Amino acid sequence: MQMGEKIPIGSDHAGYELKQDLIEYLKELGYEPEDVGTYGTASVDYPDFAEAVAGVVSRGERKRGVLICGTGIGMSMSANKFPEVRAALAVNEQMAEISRRHNDANILTLGGRFHEKLLARKILKRWLETDFEGGRHARRVEKIAKLNLNK
């Protein structure tokens, strides 16, 4: 963990309540959360907030980020459109750990309608504390970066 590391975090309306809780939890853990919205429960479009977080990660301005929508699926799909982004939906602590250890996931996605706060906190903590293992996994991650199906 890098004390004071800035972590951009965004959600749509369905993830708003969980986002607010995780912002406080990130502060407790010693991180500096950067709330990119949404700022309430009025209906919004999740790709807008995926773009805000994935954009800064893609450009290398931030090392990693967190996105929350109703299921975590839409945010994951949207964020993974950005170069160098490896967004992973984790439904438990083990998936969070493997997403980091084996896939070097740099964005964690969660489902505001499916993750209770305590579980989401545990998933986030495990994800933040796990390092990329490298080795044989590095070759695979490099191959992901080279994928371009629009050629």
Burial 112-130 (b: 16+ CB within 10 A, else e): bebbeeeebbebbbbbbeb
Token pair, residue 67, equals 């996105």
Contacts of 95 (CB under 8 A, 6+ apart): 88, 89, 123
The one catalytic residue in 13, 69, 115, 137 is: 69
Give the contacts of 118 (CB within 8 A, at least 6 positions apart): none
CATH number of 6-146: 3.40.1400.10
**Has residue 108 got a pLDDT over 60?**
yes
Residue 102 annotated to the active site: yes
Q: 101 pLDDT band (50/70/90 cuts)?
A: very high
From the candidates 13, 102, 115, 137, give the one annotated as an active-site residue. Answer: 102
Mean pLDDT of the 110-117 span: 97
- Residues 90/108, Cβ–Cβ less than 8 Å: yes
User: Mean pLDDT, to the nearest integer, of 72-84?
Assistant: 97
Residue 50 above 80 pLDDT? yes
- The answer to whether 46 touches 54, Cβ cutoff 8 Å, is no
Work out whether the CA dihedral 41, 44, 50, 51 comes out positive or negative: negative
Please, are residues 32 and 7 in contact by the beta-carbon 8 Å criterion?
A: yes
Q: For residue 147, what pLDDT is reported?
A: 82
* Averaged confidence pLDDT in the chain: 95
Domain boundaries defined on the chain: 6-146
Establish whether 69 is a catalytic residue. yes
**Alpha carbon distance 42, 16 (integer Å):** 10
